[in-house]
Structure 1
Amino acid sequence: MLIRKLDSIFDLDEEDRQALLDLPVTLRDVAAGQDIVTEGDEPSQCCIVLEGLTNWYKMIPDGRRQIVAFHLPGDIPDLQSLYLGVLDCSLAANTPCRLATVRHEDLKAICRARPRIAAALWRSSLIDGAIFREWILGMGRRSARENAAHLLCEMLVRLDAAGLAVDHQFALPLTQIEMADALGLTPVSVNRALQDLRAERLVAISRRSVRILDWAGLKRVCHFDPAYLHCRSALANAD
């Protein structure tokens, strides 16, 4: 999954791919709702998401939560821990997850030995920053309907690039509370926004699955431009 992710944003050669396959990893299963790392931790390893969905979040003292990123299979959510000694937010599993953990020293060694892998990881980190900026724009300037539509568009393109979306349909195992915490809205506002998108026959949403019925129409709702994702996806320019 990591190789597929990096291939979607960078040109790796066969030696790069083999070096990634040779990385020593330890598998770890994490239950839904469990923290993977916590704010204030000083980790000595990074994790690659193999299965499931994870999120970065921050809490304020009264218990309110802001989700600041979602990470999918193929992502290394805590890549910044390679050079930032102390984590400033917490990483949790939205769903049951399977992770591959890699020691910092092994990641640093492969980056020294394979400069193209280092460049691919750097590009991945920069794209995470671009996604974060787009989320800030959404919370500050988009309506609830626009922001919900934008998140669905983003997840479709990212999951398509990871090979996890088929015919504009994908699994999205998020509760409305989790969506609200990501979009800076209340669950009631999220529910109304999704109901509006359904009523306009733009999307069909079941408990854990989303199907985009009108891709061009959904993009128009939120002025979605996938350029900030910098990935190779057939949906990036498709109507």
Structure 2
Amino acid sequence: MPHHLIRKLEHFTRLSAADKTALQEIATRVQDFDADADIIREGDRPEHVHLVLEGWACRYKQLEDGRRQIISFFMPGDLCDTHVFVLRAMDHSIGTLTPVRLAGIPRERLLDLTARHPRITQALWWETLVTVAVQREWVVNLGQRSALERLAHLFCELFVRLRTVGLVEGDSCPLPLTQTELADATGMTTVHVNRTLQELRSAGLIILKGKRLTIPDLAALQAVALFNPNYLHLEHDGAHFDAND
């Protein structure tokens, strides 16, 4: 069930009981994918909006020589492009990083949902704006931040996003990413990623064990990363609207 999506959308606006019920009912056409599989490829015609229920996926572009750039990570509660069905053909690919369970939301169902529930529409617009803001921050990562800052910033972002949907336990969160996947997301080589991870570990800023990330002092890691969570817009005023407004 899409409870992670509901929890995330509630950061953008106050949802009514009817809104939540409607969101619970959109999880149709549930599919399971193995790790390292394509959900949809560049050039395919999109017919559904995909909602991640379980597992991790990514948006990526691949060059003809095989090099890959991961453009974003998807985790439980994330929609893989809310308005993707307007495209005649995908201009990027979406693939799994772990085993993934997805709900496919048909175009007609999503349009009906937004027509009948204005607060869901408002929340989905905010979700889209945050997705674009994250993309801008990743551009800054690739263009201006050092290797240490890049990885530290990515870890801060993932931790905060996971905390938003209730997937953080204390100072620890899941991180099922390989060093190759971290390299593909940060524009670094795997050797450079390995060296930078060792630097972060030696400084006591992170602990990586059993596909989990522990951040003993989040404020310290944020300082190293020059991380400001404002682009995630988690304290939007809409979250404080009265439910009867």
In the TM superposition, residue 48 of structure 1 has moved relative to its aligned partner by 0.8
Alignment of 1:213 with 2:216, yes or no, is yes
Q: Distance in 1 between matches of 2:233 and 2:162?
A: 13
Structure scoring higher RCO (CA < 8 A, sep ≥ 6) equals 2
The equivalent of 2:162 in structure 1 is 159
Q: Deviations over 1:75-125 (max 9, x none)?
A: 111323132332110000100011111111110111111122112111111
Q: TM-score, normalised by structure 2?
A: 0.92
In structure 2, how many angstroms separate the alpha carbons of the residues matched to 1:82 and 1:12? 25
Q: Which moved more, 1:13-22 or 1:142-151?
A: 13-22
- How far, CA to CA, are the matches of 2:26 and 2:208 in structure 1? 39
Runs of 4+ in 1 over 6 A off after TM superposition: none
Shift of 1:8: 2.6
Deviations 1:186-235 (A, max 9, x none): 11111111110100011111241110012111111011100101125xxx
What is aligned with 1:171? 174
Report the Cα distance in structure 2 between the residues aligned to 1:224 and 1:166, rounded to whole angstroms: 21
1:105 aligns with 2:104: no
Please name the residue that 2:199 is paired with: 196
Q: Distance in 2 between matches of 1:167 and 1:152?
A: 15
Structure 1 residue aligned with 2:131, among 114, 124, 128? 128
Gaps of 5+ in 2: 236-245
Structure 1: segments with no counterpart, 5+ residues? 233-239
TM-score, normalised by the number of residues in structure 1:
0.94
Any residues of structure 2 matched to 1:60-75 within 5 Å, and which? 60-75=63-78
Task: Kindly report the root-mean-square deviation, in angstroms, between the aligned alpha carbons of the 2 structures.
Answer: 1.4
Letter in 1 for 2:12: I
Worse overlay, 15-24 or 128-137: 15-24
Matches within 5 A, 1:3-152: 3-23=6-26, 25-152=28-155
